[in-house]
Structure 1
Amino acid sequence: MEIFGSTFDDSVFLEARDRVCVSLSSYNAKLCEPEWFCDNAALDTEDSLEKQKVYKFRGDLAMKQGNYQEALEAYSSCLEWIADNNLTIRRDVLEGMARSCTKLGQRDKALELANVLSKEASNTCHLTSLLLLKVSIYQHFGAIRSKMMSLQQLCSLLPFNPWHWFNLGQMCLHLLESKTTTVLCESARELNVGEAEEQQEEAADLDEDTIWLKACTCFVRTRLLLRILRQQQCSFVLQRSESTLQTTDEAIQRLSPKEKTLQALTEVMSEDLIPEKMREDYQDGESLASVCVQSFRDRWWNKILLNGVLETDAEGSWKTGWK
């Protein structure tokens, strides 16, 4: 009776055959001079892919150097040579064109390009890039309500990303400190044509008290998220989180909410901060068809305001010490 594993194939003990050495042809790497794509000779080719690369590199370089008109022209030329199935480069070029138009003051064209990207978005990465693009466009043209809407959408799409919450809180705090909240009461003409009615309603109630409360909410959420994430961080990443935590604490002190208000906000904004959920929900690259994103109002704002969650003072105000 043989014990399992006690026998071996005879081939194991045979001498190894001489390996046949196959002579491979030498590989000569292509050497390119710095900024080779700027030479007119780089376009002397019938290869559409090469032309695409040349125009794309020219656009990127011009954008980096601040030559936005030149960048826009290069990106526009590149777009003509992109294959229909090369969606990644197409989106990159369209975004470059939108940012160039923004720098050139061409607001309508920039928003038109952003709208094209919106129609072609197929996953959360695409939508995140689109919203960040919109934030930069609205920031450049002073469209405050639209910028706030885009930041709120980012917070709803990626609820466990502390930096979007921090940016939204910083924006609200800046509005309060610069005394520019009155601009939010102007007409909704700054909103991009085609915005959903629900989004316009969310942007409508932006009086000073609401902005103050929204600032407190965002900084509380930022603090909660950073305290969780810093346990897994080190080096310069941890340093950045610690610095942002300090800035966040200072902002909350500046806003000086009541203790009960702060406690109520903390309870509402920490309800979904469950480790398992934070790992699995809203993963980057997830198909938009499988993502159900609640609006900022439905997910957090209504909970805060529901049934008078926040205790007011004798004058009916939430705030204390804010000037």
Structure 2
Amino acid sequence: MDIFGSTFDDSMFEEARDKANVPLSSYKAKFCATEKALNDYTSCLALVPEGNLTIKRDVLEAMARCLSHIGQMEQALETVEQLSKEATNTCHLTCILLLKVNIYQYCRDLGNKIIALQQLCCLHPYNQWHWTSLADGYISQLESLSSQAPGLSFLPQENTLDMIGQQQVIQLYPTAPEREDRDSLWLKACMCLLRARLLLRILRNQQSSFVLQSSEKALQRTEEALQHLDPTERTLQLVTEVMGEDLVPEKMREENQDGESLDNIILKNFENRWWNRLLQTGLLGPDGGKLTTDKTESVSEP
């Protein structure tokens, strides 16, 4: 009986010979017009075998992006719905929701974009980037509301969020009669930013190199955005407590759902999971007190 390893060839342990360095040719992606790309993908889809769901999903996703770029939003969303019917796990659902975000972003449908981001936050509650993007969406809604309210003054600030849309963060000085709507949007923006800040602080302890640098920059942008929104210390404390209740290492590890079957996944309603719990603190009630600091009231209209 041969002793284990006794039959190995000596050449396996010899040092590798020096190989001539052959310069690799640079790769250049092929670009073509959107209409031609759509035609090519449509032709490709007809050739995909019925059982090859992976390639079929890739082609349908590419078709949806092409359709959105040429302004055929209804057809793009119909293609996304076709993808949704064939989703079997959380990875598929995540790709579909991100695709919806991109389509709604392209057609400037901010309301549905926010709904898709809310679903992403429910599916991946510990993903800081989804929370930052959702905060960006609420801030964009505040910008839109301020531009429609002639009695509302605001000060534009430099860009602080670079996730989706790269919208400007603003500081609002609300006046009647839209106070409740503006306060709700303002508080939701603070809520998402504080959730993102908590996650970034937790995750940076496990990071290094360029990943840590990216988190540090995102944390700085989040801090700047909160400074512009200017919440009171009481608001910061209450919102942080609510948004940090489930941020414990054990629970964060347990809810890693990447690749899991959709049969056991329930997308909890965003309002019930976070917003309604925040409202129970009474921040927006008649006795909720001030949400922002006094300096916002001392700024006159431009």
Q: Same fold (TM over 0.5)?
A: yes
Q: Which residue of 1 aligns with 2:202?
A: 228
* 2:209 is equivalent to residue 243 of structure 1: no
Q: Please report the TM-score for the alignment, with normalisation by the length of structure 2.
A: 0.75
Which residue of structure 1 aligns with residue 35 of structure 2?
Answer: 69
Cα RMSD over matched residues? 2.8
Aligned length, in residue pairs: 248
Report Cα offsets for 1:246-301 as digits up to 9, x if no partner.
Answer: 00000001001111111011001111111011112142111110112211111101
- Structure 2 unmatched ranges of 5 or more: 10-24, 150-179
Aligned twin of 1:93? 59
Q: Tell me if the contact between 2:67 and 2:75 (Cα under 8 Å) persists in the aligned partners.
A: yes
Number of the residue aligned with 2:101: 135
Identify which of 269, 272, 275 aligns with 2:249. 275
Shift, 1:178, TM fit: 5.2
Q: How does 1:180-219 map to 2 (within 5 A)?
A: 207-219=181-193
> Is residue 226–residue 245 contact of structure 1 (8 Å, CA) maintained in 2?
yes
Measure, in 2, the Cα distance between the counterparts of 1:18 and 1:98. 54
When the two structures are superposed, what TM-score results if normalisation uses the length of structure 1?
0.70
* Distance verdict in 2 for CA 1:209–1:66, change over 3 Å: farther
Residues 181 and 207 in structure 1, CA contact (< 8 A), matched pair in contact too: no
Q: Given the superposition, is the C-alpha separation of residues 312 and 98 from structure 1 closer, same or farther in structure 2, using an over 3 Å criterion?
A: same
Structure 1 CA distance for aligned equivalents of residues 8 and 237 of structure 2: 77
How many Å apart are 1:311 and its aligned residue?
Answer: 7.1
Q: 2-side partners of 1:282 and 1:164: how far apart?
A: 15
Report whether the alignment pairs 1:259 with 2:233. yes
Runs of at least 5 residues in structure 1 that lack an aligned partner in the other structure: 1-10, 20-32, 36-59, 184-205
Residue 149 of structure 1: CA displacement? 0.4
Structure 2 letter corresponding to 1:267:
E
> When you count helix as a share of all residues, which structure comes out higher?
1
Query: Structure 1 residues 298 and 313, CA, compared in 2 at 3 Å: closer, same or farther?
Result: closer
Of the two, which has the highest radius of gyration? 1
Change (3 A) 1:267 1:140: same
Moved more, 276-285 or 82-91: 276-285
Per-residue deviation, 1:144: 1.1
> Matched residue of 1:167: which SS?
helix
State the 1:94 CA deviation. 0.4
Q: For residues 101-158 of structure 1, what are the alpha-carbon distances to aligned partners after superposition, in whole Å with 9 as ceiling and x for unaligned?
A: 0000001100110111111111111111101111111111111110110011100110
**Residue 72 of structure 2 corresponds to which residue in structure 1?**
106
Q: Report which structure shows greater RCO (CA 8 Å, sep ≥6).
A: 2
Shift of residue 319, structure 1, vs aligned partner = 3.5
